[in-house]
Amino acid sequence: MGQRRIGQLGLLDAAVSRRGSRRREVLDEISGLLDWSAFERVLAVLPVAAKGEPSFPPLMMFRVLLLQRWYGLSDPAMEDALFDRLSFQRFAGLSLEDETPDHSTIWRFRERLTKGGLVEGLFAELERQLGERGFLIKQGTLIDASMVTSAARRPRKEEGPTSETDPDARFGADNERRRFTFGYKMHVAVDQGSGLIRNGLLTSANIQDVSVAPALIPPEAGTVYADRGYHSKGLRAQLQARGFGDGVMRRGQRNKPLSPVEVERNHAIVPLRSPVEAVFGTLKRTYGFTRMRYFNAPRNLAAYLLACMAFNLKRSLVLAAT
C-alpha cells in the first residue's frame, strides 16, 4: 500500500508552533545538526508493505526511536507521549492531523531494523556526518567495557550458568561490584577530546575485554587508551601494526611486578582515559542501561547502538555551542 504522507501543516499547526518550550528548542537544534536524507537512504532497503494500511515513513520511525532513547520510554509510553507532546510530533515530522504509531508499530519497526542489521548502518552514517562537521578529533581513543544485568532472572545455582529466557546472557566477573553479574558487557570506543562514541559493541558478560578490542577500535584511532584489562602483547602488536599509539596500562604479574617507570606511566594514563567512565555513567543513569530491556543479544545491541546515537546527538549540541 506504500507509505503514509505525513507532516502537511494545517492552520492549527501554525497556531501552536509559536508556543515555545525548552524541549522543543533542543529537538529543533538536533534536527538542524544533520542531513536526515542520508539516513533515509540507509533505511531505503526496508521493504514497503504490499497489503494493509500504509506504513509510516522509516525516517519518521527512526526519529521516534531516538526520542524513545532520550526520554527512557517503553513502547506503550512512547505511543502516549507521541500522541500528547507537540514537541515530539514536531521532531518526528508529524502534523497535528496525522495519525501516530502505536506501541506495536514501534516494536515492529525496531525489529525490522534489528533483523536487517540497519542500526549499525545508521550509527556509521551518524559518525560520518559528525566527522564531516569537525566534531571528531581523532587524536586519541578511549576504550572500556561495563557490565549490564540481563532482563531475565538470574539463574539459581542448580539451574546452571545459562537462562532459557535469555540464552545469550552469561555470568561474568564484575570487578566494580566485586561479584558475578549475569548479563552482558557494553564495549565502547570514545573519541578523546570530543567525548563522542565512535563504536559500540555488545557481548555476553563472560567475554574478555581484550578479545573485543581489535573490532572495537575504529579507524584513525590515534593513541588508544585503556585500563589493565586490555594488557596483552597481542593487542600491543596490533596497535603497532595499525599505526596507533599505545596508551594501554600495564599489569604486573606474580613474579614480575611493574617497574617504577611502568607504575608512573599507569598513573599518567588514568586521567587521560577517565572520561570514558562518564560516558558509561550517562548511558546507565540517563539511558537506563543498568539492566537490559530485551531477552537476546541482537535486540539488546540495537537498543545499545540507538542509545549511543542518542548520546552523540546530545553531545554534539554541546560541541556545536563551544
pLDDT tens-place string over residues 217-243? 999 999 999 999 999 999 999 999 999
Residues 234 and 153 in one domain: yes
Indicate whether 6 pLDDT > 70.
no
**Are residues 289 and 217 part of one domain?**
yes
The structural domain count of the chain equals 2
Which residue has 507509505 as its cell numbers?
3
- Mean pLDDT in residue range 189-213: 97
Which residue range is the domain that position 51 belongs to?
11-116
Question: Please, is 211 exposed, middle or buried when counting C-beta atoms within 10 Å of its C-beta (0-12, 13-18, 19+)?
Answer: middle
Q: Is residue 192 part of a domain?
A: yes
Answer yes or no: do 143 and 237 share one domain. Answer: yes
Do 71 and 173 belong to one domain?
no
Predicted local confidence at residue 304, as pLDDT: 97
What mean pLDDT is predicted for residues 154-176?
89
Q: Is 84 found in the same domain as 25? A: yes
Residues 163 and 237 in one domain: yes
**What is the rounded distance in angstroms from the CA atom of residue 235 to the CA atom of residue 288?**
31
Q: Are residues 112 and 220 in the same domain?
A: no
Is residue 239, in this structure, part of any structural domain at all? yes
List beta partners, residue 224: 141, 246
d(CA 203, CA 169): 8
- 3-class SS of residue 99: coil
Are residues 148 and 16 located together in one domain of the fold? no
Which residue type does 85 have? R
111 plus 145 within the same structural domain: no
The region that residue 2 occupies, defined by phi over 0 for left and psi between -120 and 50 for alpha, beta otherwise, is left
What would the mean pLDDT of 130-134 be, rounded to a whole number? 94
Say what the pTM is: 0.90
